[in-house]
């Protein structure tokens, strides 16, 4: 179930990205650089205003999962109705703010075209805001019910429509930003209606019982508010480095830094797909059986490591060759070392998504929010000093240090919720594994492509063999062997 739902999420999140890659050149060519830039800014504004849900969508998932686990069916309708009513109000507020701020924002964009086109586009998207914010709550209901198949049956076509819709408009109807945003708004409205239909089906009777409980608002806002703090501060740290590099080094240096960074951090879609499934499970399992949560935590970390390791190692070992093919040799010469560091940092930090989700899943979002808030000024200072004195190498090392420290803190905090000793029977095994991983990434320093290719495959064999023997539990090995045997028997020619 865990792997299946994660694969659903990967398809729902990943396939639209492939469509985006193909549609971007068409939109740039049709709209022109300036108008396409305005469209991306509108997308960014809509994403930012999406934070107006104040984390209530995920807070609803967490609290609803607890009620379902405790079989408190009579408390579910008031929670759902109160949450959705609050989200609708927040969505309307976001839409009104966007509508009235459209002219002010448009006047501050350096744009040679008709500024009314920008204002009209923003105001059209403002109409979509109530539906966008409300959808987060409806999706939260489906996640609490573990209806990830349904979620991604909606997400996949809507994600593709987000990019294909504008292409169809500019090629077949009108090369106009307002027309593009009208189509995007229609898509958001349809997505909200479809989510509402399936959410109502997943909780029969919950939507017909309109009991408003104002005392629930404080709990929802406190939990959701702390999640929002993390959702704001964490991305801010993700963008802070490029602004400081531009200020302390040069604008060209930003390109050398951001290009491999953007490529590698896209891998966060994998733990993102997994943790969306884990979040309601952690919330309910700790009510029903903490032992299940411990085993689930162990399984998730192990699977995630085994999936991410070969991908990030490949990116590190062939960083120079990848950048040479993708960009050019000159760019690769200035950026490949950064890509190697990013590869290792992303591997480590992908694992931090599991304890982060555990902490928030049990209702301790305040902990993650305070951690990220404390990290922000320290990271900013370290980044500024390292970039000033060591250039891009200093900047990427400051980034790596943040990844390592953040991951360590998240696992320490998770240890206050579950017994990590039951996950790692002998800590020395983890130390040896970390050493083997470090040695594997040193393969990237070898200039000979044939030689490092041999070592790349050897490193993967060694890591997987070691994990199979010393990290994977006995029950997990038996389960894998049984599934392999069943699959082999099923595919045997008759």
pLDDT at 186 over 60: yes
**Average pLDDT, integer, range 90-119:** 80
The confidence band for 481, taking pLDDT boundaries of 50, 70 and 90, is low
CA distance 52 to 228: 9
91: left (phi over 0), alpha (psi -120 to 50) or beta: alpha
Angle at 320 between CA 315 and CA 326, to 5 degrees: 85
Phi, psi of 458 (to 5 degrees): -65, -40
The whole-number pLDDT of residue 44 equals: 63
Show the tokens assigned to 68: 């379902």
- Stretch 167-192: mean pLDDT: 86
For residues 70 and 137, the model is more confident at: 137
| Angstrom distance (rounded) from CA 122 to CA 261 | 30
Of 210-214, 232-236, 416-420, 434-438, least confident by mean pLDDT is 210-214
Please write the tens of the pLDDT for every residue from 382-428: 999 998 889 899 999 999 999 999 999 999 999 888 877 766 667 78
In this model, does residue 124 exceed pLDDT 80?
A: yes
Of all residues in the chain, the percent with pLDDT exceeding 70 is: 81
Q: Which of 170, 231, 163, 161 is nearest to 194 (CA)?
A: 161
For residues 449-459, give the mean pLDDT.
Answer: 96
For residues 213 and 356, is the Cβ–Cβ distance under 8 A?
A: no
| Residue 334 and residue 196 in contact, taking contact as beta carbons nearer than 8 Å | no
- As given in the structure block, the two tokens for residue 224 are 């959701």
pLDDT at 456: 97
pTM: 0.73
- In this predicted structure, which of 49-53, 85-89, 343-347 has the lowest mean pLDDT? 49-53
Cα distances (angstroms) measured from residue 424 to each of 302, 324, 348, 414: 11, 41, 17, 13
Q: Residue 108 — pLDDT band, cuts 50, 70, 90?
A: low
At 262 the pLDDT is 77
Res 126 pLDDT > 70: yes
Please say whether the beta carbons of 123 and 259 come within 8 A.
no
Higher pLDDT, 304 or 219: 304
Write out pLDDT tens, residues 432-442: 999 999 999 99
pLDDT digits (tens, 9 = 90+) for 320-365: 999 898 778 888 898 999 999 999 999 999 999 999 999 988 878 7
Tell me which range, 19-33, 192-206, 251-265, is most confidently predicted by mean pLDDT. 192-206
State the number of CA atoms in the 13 A half-sphere of 198 facing the CB: 25
Q: CA-CA distances (angstroms) from residue 250 to 66, 241, 427?
A: 50, 12, 44
Of 8-12, 157-161, 322-326, 450-454, the least confident: 8-12
Q: What per-residue confidence (pLDDT) applies to 484?
A: 57
Residues whose CB is less than 8 angstroms from the CB of residue 477 and which lie 6 or more positions away in sequence, other chains included: 468
Comparing 66 with 359, which gets the higher pLDDT? Answer: 359
Q: How far apart are CA 87 and CA 138, in angstroms?
A: 10
What is the reported pLDDT for 218?
Answer: 67
- C-alpha 175/C-alpha 166 separation (Å) is 9
């Amino acid at each position: 179930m865990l792997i299946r739902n994660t694969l659903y999420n990967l398809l729902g999140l990943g396939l639209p990205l492939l469509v985006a890659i193909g549609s971007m050149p068409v939109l740039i060519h049709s709209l022109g650089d300036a108008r396409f830039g305005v469209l991306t800014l509108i997308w960014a504004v809509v994403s930012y205003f999406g934070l107006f849900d104040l984390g209530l969508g995920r807070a609803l998932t967490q609290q609803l999962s607890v009620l379902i686990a405790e079989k408190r069916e009579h408390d579910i309708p008031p929670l759902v109705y109160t949450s959705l009513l609050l989200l609708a109000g927040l969505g309307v507020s976001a839409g009104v703010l966007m509508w009235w701020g459209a002219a002010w924002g448009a006047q501050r964009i350096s744009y040679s075209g008709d500024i009314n086109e920008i204002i009209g586009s923003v105001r059209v998207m403002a109409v979509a805001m109530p539906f966008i914010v409300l959808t987060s709550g409806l999706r939260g209901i489906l996640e609490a019910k573990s209806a990830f198949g349904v979620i991604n049956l909606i997400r996949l076509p809507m994600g593709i429509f987000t990019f294909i819709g504008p292409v169809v408009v500019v090629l077949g109807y009108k090369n106009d930003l307002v027309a593009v945003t009208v189509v995007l708004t229609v898509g958001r409205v349809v997505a909200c209606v479809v989510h509402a239909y399936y959410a109502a089906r997943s909780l029969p009777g919950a939507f017909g019982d309109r009991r408003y409980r104002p005392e629930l608002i404080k709990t929802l806002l406190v939990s959701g508010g702390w999640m929002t703090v993390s959702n704001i501060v964490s991305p801010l740290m993700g963008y802070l480095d490029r602004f400081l590099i531009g200020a302390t080094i040069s604008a060209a240096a930003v390109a050398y830094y951001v290009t491999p960074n953007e490529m590698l951090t896209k891998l966060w879609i994998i733990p993102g797909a997994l943790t969306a499934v884990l979040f309601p499970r952690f919330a309910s399992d700790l009510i029903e059986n903490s032992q299940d949560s411990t085993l689930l935590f162990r399984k998730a970390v192990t699977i995630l490591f085994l999936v991410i390791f070969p991908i990030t190692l490949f990116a590190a070992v062939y960083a120079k060759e990848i950048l040479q093919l993708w960009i050019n040799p000159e760019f690769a010469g200035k950026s490949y070392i950064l890509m190697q560091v990013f590869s290792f940092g992303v591997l480590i930090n992908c694992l931090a998504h599991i304890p982060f989700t555990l902490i928030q899943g049990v209702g301790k979002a305040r902990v993650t929010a305070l951690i990220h808030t404390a990290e922000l000024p320290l990271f900013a200072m370290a980044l500024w000093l390292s970039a000033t004195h060591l250039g891009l190498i200093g900047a990427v090392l400051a980034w790596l240090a943040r990844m390592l420290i953040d991951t360590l803190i998240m696992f320490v905090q998770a240890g206050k919720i579950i017994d990590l000793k039951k996950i790692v029977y002998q800590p020395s095994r983890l130390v040896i594994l970390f050493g083997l991983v470090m040695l594997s990434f040193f393969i990237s320093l070898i200039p000979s492509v044939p030689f490092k290719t041999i070592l790349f495959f050897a490193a993967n064999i060694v890591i997987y063999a070691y994990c199979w023997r010393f990290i994977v539990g006995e029950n997990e090995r038996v389960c894998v062997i049984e599934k392999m045997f069943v699959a082999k028997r099923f595919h045997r020619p008759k």
